[in-house]
Amino acid sequence: MNLLYFSMISGFLALIVVIFLVKGILKKDTGNEKMIEISGYIEEGAMAFLKKEYSYLVVFIIVIALAIIMFLNFKTAVAFVVGALFSIVAGYIGMRIAVKSNVRTTEAAKHGIREALAVAFSGGTVMGLCVVGLGIIGLGFFSIIFDLNAEYITGFGLGASSIALFARVGGGIYTKAADVGADLVGKVEAGIPEDDPRNPAVIADNVGDNVGDVAGMGADLFESYVGSIISAITLGSVLVGEWGINIVIFPLVLSSIGILASLIGIIFVKAYKGDNPQKALNLGSTISGVIVLVVGFIVCNMLMGSYELFLPVIAGLIVGLIIGKVTEYYTSADYKPVKFIANESKTGPATNIIAGLSVGMKSTVIPILLIVIGIIISFFAIGGGSNTSLGLYGIALSAVGMLSTTAITIAVDAYGPISDNAGGIAEMCELDKNIREITDKLDSVGNTTAAIGKGFAIGSAALTALALFASYSQTVNLQTINLLDPLTLVGVLIGGMLPFLFAALTMQSVGKAATEMVEEVRRQFREKEGILKGTEKPDYSKCVEISTHAALKEMILPGILAIAVPLIVGMLLGTEALGGLIGGGVVTGVMLAIMMSNSGGAWDNAKKYIETGINGGKGSVAHKAGVVGDTVGDPFKDTSGPSMNILIKLMTIVSVVFAPVIAKYGGVLIQYLIK
């Protein structure tokens, strides 16, 4: 049990570092009055959305907690509430500091790229450390008070997953409604630059960067981080008789090592003296990974008396790293796929869309093969061929290994939207061009790190969902799934359909909200002619209100579906049909997540690549096609694609938490038909 206290100490250490980082950020200069005013609009919009969203979620938390008490037990309900609240707190603190960091990054850019990188990265680091700190503290605490009883601890994961879904979907709808509206009217129709202060949707667009890419992304990885550890604890508990209690504790210890390794990596990023932000971020991430490998290997031998149990961890880390690089290949303008889309744009939007879709579909191949290789290595390397339970535990460990450096992964990812906001503030305040060039360079690196982060999130989601699926099968004593059984096939088909329905609903939500945004921007341009002349101020608040209302309204149905459908299928058709549903959902969900995220990222960077002067540059046929492709890709990469991760994990964790009820009462429809 002393090792559980060690894991909690590492979490508190992460939060202590957060306090020092926040103090350091708030001491930085905020620039002139105009910069303070613009950043104030962004902060006000972001916090207003969070407060409204959380007021909705409080009702949801209470309802689900009461349902858990009614059908399961009080302890699981307590863990659920704390998991949900910790996810909310991490998102709130992370985004609060992100909107404080943007203007300070702009001001720091006046002194050079290293100074700007330091502020933006510190802001992102706050989000990363809050996620892992609160995650490991919560899991360590409940492991101690519940004596490592996975039945109760899973409630913490359900709380994290529930909030993550609403944060990702709500944040994604918000940011893309504003982004699409701002681009279609501002860039395409009015011909004004991105982040031009004359665009009424520009503040909502900048708010959306924080809502979707900081709070939403943080909640996503908080869920994966917690879910992977819970699945390893659940599967490890089956092996205690053979391996001892340390096999249950090891995932928490490994995650604690990851926190300490990330802290060291963060120090290296902040100490970097060069002018290449990509090298600085890569250096920190690489050092963190190497430390986890070396120290984790030694600790595994000490705790378990076997180096073989560390092989899945190595596999998980390497697979996560390579998936990130593959994602970079398909979404960076330095490589052929994005250049191919840019070249196809010369003949208009249709060929741009065709090229982007083909790139996204092709990009599923290597990540899936890597995940397959990781699963095979993790399962068989520790004796899964002769001991299925041990092999499944290995798959869970690979997910823990992949997510062990989550703190620095989120820090690198969240730094991107802060830099993007900094560039927006520089543009709106009409600062010197060299300042915008610095923020643009940081933002460009941020686009790449964001794409890598999405690839990492998808890979970790696949492994986490598979590990949680194994936990479900253990709980309901499901040894095999027979695809020749019509009920199982029904479950597979329903599960395979759900990600498509989920994608359709979220895309449709963005479309409806964007249409409303477009009409509002057009109205303001039409009724206030002074806006485009620069003599009249746009009504930013109306656009913020449109995004906020649309996001909160449209996130409800997808969220309810993800929770209700697994329960309905399990109760009506039984445990095996629910197993089929999870399997079908994971397969199509992972494919759609990779395809949509990479297509969207490739379209975005193809447009930026054209804007550098390629194929006629700005204003050309290729550029107009690129803007259309980027507009289609926005909800792909920032709403529907990332939401798939949470959908497959939430369906699985819901099944795990309610497995005892489904095992006891499930299949009522079939029992009725048999009678």
276-333 pLDDT per residue, tens: 888 888 888 889 989 999 999 999 988 888 888 899 999 988 888 888 888 889 988 8
**Among candidates 387, 241, 409, 324, which has minimal Cα distance to 594?**
324
SS (H, E, C) 355-392: HHHHHHHHCCHHHHHHHHHHHHHHHHCCCCCCCHHHHH
Answer whether 3's CB lies under 8 Å from 146's CB: no
Angle at the Cα of 542 (from 540 to 548), degrees rounded to 5? 105
Q: What is the mean pLDDT of the chain?
A: 87
What is the C-alpha separation between 92 and 216, in angstroms, rounded? 10
Quote the crossing angle between the two packed helices 406-428 and 33-71, to the nearest 10°.
140
For 342-355, what is the mean pLDDT?
94
At 159, list the tokens: 């709380």
pLDDT at 1 over 60: no
> Which residues, in sequence order, are CB contacts of 656 under 8 Å at separation 6+?
154, 157, 234, 468, 471, 472, 475
Over residues 178-192, the mean pLDDT reads 73
Is 277 in a helix, a strand, or coil?
Answer: helix
Is 70 exceeded by the pLDDT of residue 194?
no
Find the helix or strand (DSSP H, E) in which 675 lies: none
The pTM is what? 0.88
Which of 531, 423, 521, 416 is CA-nearest to residue 38?
A: 423
Asked if residue 440 has pLDDT above 70, the reply is yes
pLDDT number for residue 188: 67
Annotated domain spans of the chain: 2-674
Helices (H) then strands (E): counts for the chain: 26, 0
- Residue 221: enclosing H or E segment and its boundaries? helix 217-237
Highest mean pLDDT (candidates 74-83, 230-239, 241-250, 394-403): 74-83
- Return the HEC string of 44-55: HHHHHHHHHHHH
Q: Which of 337, 577, 326, 268 is nearest to 452 (CA)?
A: 326
Q: Is 673's pLDDT higher than 70?
A: no
pLDDT at 271: 84
Residue 675 has pLDDT above 80, yes or no: no
Q: Is residue 667 predicted with pLDDT exceeding 80?
A: no
Per-residue model confidence (pLDDT) at position 86 = 94
* Residue 478 DSSP SS3: coil
Helix (H, G, I), strand (E, B) or coil at 30: coil
Residue 437 CB coordination number (10 Å): 14
Cα 247 to its chain centre, rounded Å, is 28
Q: What is the DSSP string of 577-615?
A: HHHHHHHHHHHHHHHHHHHHHHHHHHHHHHHHHHHTTGG
Orientation of helix 641-657 relative to helix 150-181, angle to 10°: 160
Whether pLDDT at 61 is above 70:
yes
As a whole number of angstroms, the longest Cα–Cα distance in the chain is 79
- Residue 421 and residue 42 in contact, taking contact as beta carbons nearer than 8 Å: yes
- Strand, coil or helix: 194: coil
Q: Where is average pLDDT lowest: 191-195, 520-524, 625-629?
A: 191-195
pLDDT of residue 259: 95
Q: Is the dihedral of CA 634, 329, 587, 171 positive or negative?
A: negative
Unique residue bearing structure tokens 């790229």: 113
- Given this model, what pLDDT does residue 672 score? 67
At 32, phi and psi to the nearest 5?
-80, 180
The Cα angle at residue 262 between residues 153 and 171, in degrees rounded to 5: 65
How far is Cα 415 from Cα 124, in angstroms, rounded to an integer? 5
DSSP sequence for 441-505: HHHHHHHHHHHHHHHHHHHHHHHHHHHHHHHHHHHTT-----TTSHHHHHHHHHHHHHHHHHHHH
Query: pLDDT tens digits for 105-161?
Result: 999 988 888 888 899 999 999 999 999 999 999 999 999 999 888 889 999 999 988
Residue 563, pLDDT > 70, answer yes
Residue type, 454: K
**CA triplet 594, 600, 605: central angle to 5 degrees?**
125
CB 178 within 8 A of CB 547: yes
Mean pLDDT for 168-197 is: 76
pLDDT classification of 12: cutoffs 50, 70, 90:
very high
